[in-house]
């Protein structure tokens, strides 16, 4: 099942599958084939890795043989990946360790995705993420910020980004993190205002 625009160009690729270990190879192959058709092979390796981790989590935590659906969709300069399953339980980054298999998948998602989260649906949930279509241009700053923000939220006991796609919630956490950094600068005898000015100058120069 796929979506098309007025010119017949494919906009979404919807891939229902049975969550069993034997399906993973075929799922990766179909992902790469679709990204080739869209001219997005630069993100294929990360996409295959993310899809494998998400599908494996369905097998482990929803049940082997459970019905699931993978959705791929190019959005602006990003690739959106959604993994739908029939379980309403929402994974929480703060409740798992890096040694835990589910936790490893979530930390990996935080490390490679530009944005990610979980949304409840009428039949269960969907874990989603967005990958930069051209990681070389996107750079690593956004990815490092995602990882730092995820760690910070777990340290302060807040719900991780995986539990909501609310931009406002993430911006509030980023504000708290910046405020803590300013406190640290002041405690070291530095000037918080000067730090903000220099960070703004660096951001504007790089954005330009």
SS3 for 132?
A: strand
Measured between alpha carbons, how far is 172 from 165 in angstroms, rounded to an integer?
13
For 109-125, the pLDDT digits (tens) are 777 888 888 999 999 99
Domain boundaries, the chain: 2-136+159-165
CATH code for 2-136+159-165? 3.30.565.10
Tally of CB atoms within 10 A around 102: 18
Measured between alpha carbons, how far is 57 from 35 in angstroms, rounded to an integer?
23
In this prediction the pTM is: 0.59
State the average pLDDT over residues 130-158. Answer: 69
The DSSP element (H or E) to which 175 belongs, if any, is helix 167-187
State the average pLDDT over residues 120-141. Answer: 80
- Confidence class of residue 93 from pLDDT cuts 50, 70 and 90? low
Cβ(81)–Cβ(51) under 8 Å?
yes
Q: How far is CA 21 from CA 31, 40, 52, 56, 57, in A?
A: 16, 26, 10, 7, 11
Measured between alpha carbons, how far is 56 from 107 in angstroms, rounded to an integer?
14
DSSP 149-161: HHHHHHHTTPPPG
């Amino acid at each position: 099942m796929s979506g098309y625009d007025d010119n017949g160009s494919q906009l979404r690729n919807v891939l229902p599958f049975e969550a069993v270990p034997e399906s993973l190879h075929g799922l990766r192959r179909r992902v790469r084939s679709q990204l080739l058709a869209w001219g997005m092979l630069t993100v294929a390796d990360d996409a295959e890795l993310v899809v494998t981790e998400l599908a494996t989590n369905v097998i482990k935590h929803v049940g082997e043989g459970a019905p699931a659906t993978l959705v791929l969709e190019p959005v602006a300069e990003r690739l959106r990946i959604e993994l739908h399953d029939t379980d309403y339980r929402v994974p929480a980054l703060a409740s798992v360790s890096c040694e835990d298999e589910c936790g490893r998948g979530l930390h990996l998602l935080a490390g490679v995705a530009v944005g990610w989260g979980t949304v409840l649906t009428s039949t269960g949930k969907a874990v989603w993420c967005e990958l930069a279509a051209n990681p070389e241009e996107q750079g690593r700053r956004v990815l490092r910020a995602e990882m730092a923000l995820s760690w910070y939220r777990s340290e302060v006991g807040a719900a991780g980004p995986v539990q909501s796609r609310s931009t406002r919630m993430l911006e509030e956490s980023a504000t708290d993190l910046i405020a803590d950094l300013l406190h640290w600068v002041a405690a070291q005898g530095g000037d918080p205002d000067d730090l903000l000015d220099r960070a703004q100058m660096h951001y504007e120069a790089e954005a330009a």
